[in-house]
Structure 1
C-alpha cells in the first residue's frame, strides 16, 4: 500500500499543479491581512515577496488591520494602526477586495475602530456582507500569536467566530502507544481496510496530507 501511494504521488507530480483555492484576497493600500482561516499570513521580507492570499470557496475568516497616515502638521505625519479586526464572510470563485476609508486624523481612526467601516467587494464591485469582531491584546503588540488568539476567539459565541476552524487534526509522526492484540489473534484485514477507507474519507485535507507524509516517511 505504501509503495502504491508513493507511485501515485510521483505520477501526480508529472501533471501541472491544481489550485484548490477559489477565492483570492486583495487588500487595498494601508490594509494588512494578518491571518486567513486560522493560519497566520507570512509577511514580506527582504528575501521574499508578499505571499498569495487565497482561500477555498465558502466561509472565510480573515484578520485585518489598517495603517493610517495621521497628519501632525502641514509637512509631517505619523503611522498608526487600527484595532485588529476579524472579518468573516462567504464568497466563491471571485477576488475579494478588502478596503478601508482613507483616514488622516485620530478622530476618524477612533470612529473606524468603533464602527468597523470595512468594505469587502467581489470582482464585479458588489459589496459582500460580513460579520466582525476584534482580537484585543493589552500592551506590546509586536510578535503576536494570531493563531493562538484565533483559537480563543473561535471558541466564543461572537458572530464572526468560526468554530469549525478549531477542529483538531491528527499528527501521524507522533508515536501513540496502542495496546497490541495477542500474537495468535489476526485482525480481519477486510474490516481493517474498510475502516481505513472510511476514516480517510472523513478526514480533513490537512489530516489526509499528514497521513500521506507518514506513509512516505514511515514515521
Structure 2
C-alpha cells in the first residue's frame, strides 16, 4: 500500500520510478542554483553542453544567475548577475532560456537593472512568470541559498511560494533525484468541503502532515544541510 502525504491543497504519493514532465535546457551562461528550494535534478550534468533540469508538473520556483562570457582581445570577461527568483506554472513542456543579445560586458551589466529573459516552449511561446531578486548584502561567496529562499518564501513577493508548497516541492525534488515517482494531485472539492466542516480536526492533520514532510526532507539532507537548517530554525525564535 502506498503512503500518501497530504498538505494544504496537495496530495503527494510516492510510487515507481519515472521522470517529471517539465524540462528546461540549461545553457552554459545559466547557473541554476535551486529548484523548489532544493538542489536541481539535472540530466547530463552541470558541465555538459546539453544539460537539462527536470521539474515536476505544476507550479515551480527556480533560483538562478545569468553569467554570460565575452571575448575582449585575447582574454574573456564574465558577468555574474544578481540572483533571480522566478515562479511559473508549466506541464508536459520542454523549455529553453532566452536572453537579450548583449555584445559586450558593459551591455550585459544592464541585466541587473532590467532582468530581461524568458522561458520559451517548443512553439516559441513565452511562459508567464513572476520574478524577484534574492539580495544578500556583504560577502557573496558561500551563501546559503536554501536558507535564503526559505526566508524569501515568507515574504509577500509575487515570486514566493507558500511554506507548505515549498516543503512539498522540496520533497518532490528529493524523491525524483532518488528515482521515485511523485504524483501531485489536487485535493477534490468534496475533500475541501469536508475539511471546512471540521476545522479543528483539519488543523491537527495539517500540523501532523507538515511535520512528516519536514522530517522526510530533514532525513534526506546531509550533516551540513541539517546544521544550516537548525541554525535557521533557531534564528526564527
TM-score when normalising by structure 2? 0.58
- CA distance in 2: counterparts of 1:156 and 1:146, whole angstroms: 15
> Per-residue deviation at 1:34?
0.9
The one of 195, 204, 213 equivalent to 1:207 is 213
> Per-residue deviation at 1:51?
7.5
> Per-residue deviation at 1:23?
0.7
- CA distance in 1: counterparts of 2:23 and 2:162, whole angstroms: 23
- Cα deviation, 1:19-65, whole Å, max 9, x if unaligned, reads 2522112122311211101113379589x999752111111110111
CA contact (8 A) 2:26 2:52 kept: no
CA contact (8 A) 1:68 1:104 kept: no
> Per-residue deviation at 1:210?
3.8
Summarize the Cα distance change of 1:210–1:42 in structure 2 as closer, same or farther, 3 Å threshold: closer
1:116 is paired with a residue of what secondary structure?
A: coil
- CA distance in 2: counterparts of 1:124 and 1:203, whole angstroms: 40
Aligned length: 170
- CA distance in 1: counterparts of 2:151 and 2:130, whole angstroms: 17
Which protein has greater RCO, CA pairs closer than 8 Å, 6+ apart? 2
Aligned pairs (5 A) from 1:1-219: 17-19=16-18, 21-41=20-40, 53-71=53-71, 73-164=72-163, 165-167=165-167, 203=209, 207=213, 210=216
- CA distance in 2: counterparts of 1:56 and 1:41, whole angstroms: 11
- CA distance in 2: counterparts of 1:57 and 1:42, whole angstroms: 14
- Cα deviation, 1:108-131, whole Å, max 9, x if unaligned, reads 223211111111012322111111
1:13 matched to which residue of 2?
A: none
1:24 is paired with a residue of what secondary structure?
A: strand
RMSD: 3.9
- Cα deviation, 1:139-180, whole Å, max 9, x if unaligned, reads 3322221111101111111111112444489xxxxxxxxxxx
2:190 matched to which residue of 1?
A: none
Q: Which runs of 5+ in 1 are unaligned?
A: 6-15, 170-194, 214-219
1:78 is paired with a residue of what secondary structure?
A: strand
Q: Which runs of 5+ in 2 are unaligned?
A: 3-14, 171-200, 220-237
2:96 is paired with a residue of what secondary structure?
A: strand
Summarize the Cα distance change of 1:45–1:92 in structure 2 as closer, same or farther, 3 Å threshold: closer
Deviates more, 1:86-95 or 1:27-36: 27-36
1:81 is paired with a residue of what secondary structure?
A: coil
